[in-house]
Amino acid sequence: MNLRGGEMSTRYILFILSFFVVSASAANDHLKQESYWDIQAISNPIISPKGKNIIFSKRYIDKKNDAFVSDLWIMSSDGSEKRFFVKGSNPRWSPDGTKIAFVKEDKNKTSQIFVKHLLNGSESKITNFKSNIKDFAWSKDGKYFSFSSFNEYDKTWIIDIPGKEKGEEYNWTEEPTVVTTMHWKSDGKGEEKIGENHLYLVDSNGGSAVKISDWGLNYVDDLQWVDNNQIVFTGDNSLNDLETPWKQSSIFKLDVNTKDIQKISPKDGVYVSPKVSLDGKKIVYTGHPNKEYSSVAFDILINENSQNKVLTKDLSASPRRLEWIDSNNIFFNIDERGSAKLKSLNLNTLKIVNEIKDFNDQFYLTSVFDGIAYGIYSNADRPGEIAKIEQLNIKPLSQFNELVLSQYDLGNTTEINYKSYDGTKIQGWYITPPNFDKKKKYPLILVIHGGPHAMYRPSFNYQWHQFASDGYIVLFTNPRGSTGYGSSFANIIDNDYPGKGDLEDLLSGVDHLTDKGFINESRMYVQGCSGGGVLTAWVVGHDDRFAAAASLCPVTNWISMVGTTDIPAWTFEWFEEPFWKDPSEWLDHSPIMRTGYVKTPTLFMTGVLDIRTPMAQTEEMYIAFKQAGIETALVRMNKEWHGTDREKPTNWFRTYGYLSEWYEKHSGN
What is the DSSP secondary-structure string of 229-248?
SEEEEEEES---TTS-GGGS
Residue 288 belongs to some domain of the structure: no
Nearest C-alpha neighbor of 184 from the set 240, 241, 132: 241
What is the pTM (predicted TM-score) of this model? 0.92
Q: What is the pLDDT of residue 100?
A: 98
Cβ atoms of 537 and 602 within 8 Å: the answer is: yes
d(CA 622, CA 554): 11
What's the pLDDT at 20? 44
Tell me if the bond preceding 443 is cis, omega within 30° of 0: no
Residue 35 lies in a domain: no
What separation in angstroms does the CA of 462 have from each of 42, 255, 361, 531? 15, 48, 17, 20
In the 8-state DSSP scheme, what is residue 478?
Answer: E
CA distance 470 to 445: 12
Report helix, strand and coil shares of the chain as percent, to nearest 5. 15, 35, 45
Q: How far is CA 247 from CA 317, 485, 571, in A?
A: 16, 21, 13
- Cβ contacts of 181 within 8 Å, gap of 6 or more: 194, 241
What residues contact 45, with CB distance under 8 A and at least 6 apart? 54, 55, 56, 366, 367, 374, 375, 376, 386, 397
In a domain, 345, yes or no: no
How far is Cα 37 from Cα 374, in angstroms, rounded to an integer?
Answer: 27
Q: At what angle do helices 649-665 and 462-469 cross, to 10 degrees?
A: 40
How far is it, in rounded angstroms, from Cα 331 to Cα 466? 36
pLDDT of amino acid 155: 84
- Residue 642's alpha-carbon distances to 189, 321, 518, 572, in angstroms, are 11, 26, 35, 20
Q: DSSP 3-state assignment of 628?
A: helix
pLDDT at position 6 is: 36
Spatial CA neighbour of 368 closest among 60, 656, 77, 68: 77
- For residue 13, the model assigns a pLDDT of 37
pLDDT at 473: 98
**What's 206's DSSP letter?**
-
- Where the chain has pLDDT below 70, the residues are 1-28, 669
Chain mean pLDDT for the chain: 94
Distance CA 107, CA 87 (A): 14
Buried b (16+ CB within 10 A) or exposed e, 325-352: beeebbbbbbbbbbbbbbbbbebeeeeb
Provide the pLDDT for residue 294: 85
Sign of CA dihedral 137, 140, 141, 146: negative
Q: Which pLDDT score, from 0 to 100, does residue 238 have?
A: 93
Angstrom distance (rounded) from CA 356 to CA 68: 34
CB atoms within 10 A of CB 67: 13
What are the backbone dihedrals phi and psi of residue 571, each rounded to the nearest 5 degrees, phi first?
A: -65, -40
Maximal CA-CA distance, the chain: 86
CB environment 556-593: b (16+ within 10 A), e (fewer)? bbbbbbbeebbbbbbbbbbbeeebeeeeebbeebbbbb
DSSP-based three-state secondary structure for 506? helix
396-406: string of b/e by CB count within 10 Å (b at 16+)?
A: bbbbbbbeebb
Question: How many Cβ atoms are within 10 Å of 657's Cβ, its own excluded?
Answer: 11
> Has residue 564 been placed in a domain?
yes
Q: Are strands 282-288 and 299-304 parallel, antiparallel or unpaired?
A: antiparallel
* Residue 328 backbone dihedrals phi, psi, to 5 degrees: -125, 5
In this predicted structure, what is the pLDDT of residue 611?
Answer: 96
> How many domains does the chain contain in total?
1
Would you state the pLDDT for residue 27?
53
440 belongs to a structural domain: yes
Which domain range does residue 648 map to?
410-665
Is the CB of residue 186 less than 8 Å from the CB of residue 611?
Answer: yes
Does residue 560 sit within a domain?
yes
592 inside domain: yes
Please report whether residue 184 resides in a domain.
Answer: no
**pLDDT digits over 597-619, tens only?**
999 999 999 999 999 999 999 99
- Is the Cβ–Cβ distance between 317 and 484 less than 8 Å? yes
Say how many Å lie between the first and final Cα of the chain, rounded: 33
**Full DSSP string of 348-409:** TT--EEESSTT--SEEEEEEEETTEEEEEEEETTEEEEEEEEETTEEEE---TTHHHHTTEE
- CATH code at position 514: 3.40.50.1820
Residue 266: cis peptide before it, omega within 30 degrees of 0: no
Rounded CA separation 459/64 (Å)? 29
Kind of pairing between the strands at 425-431 and 413-419: antiparallel
Tell me the percentage of the chain whose pLDDT exceeds 90. 91
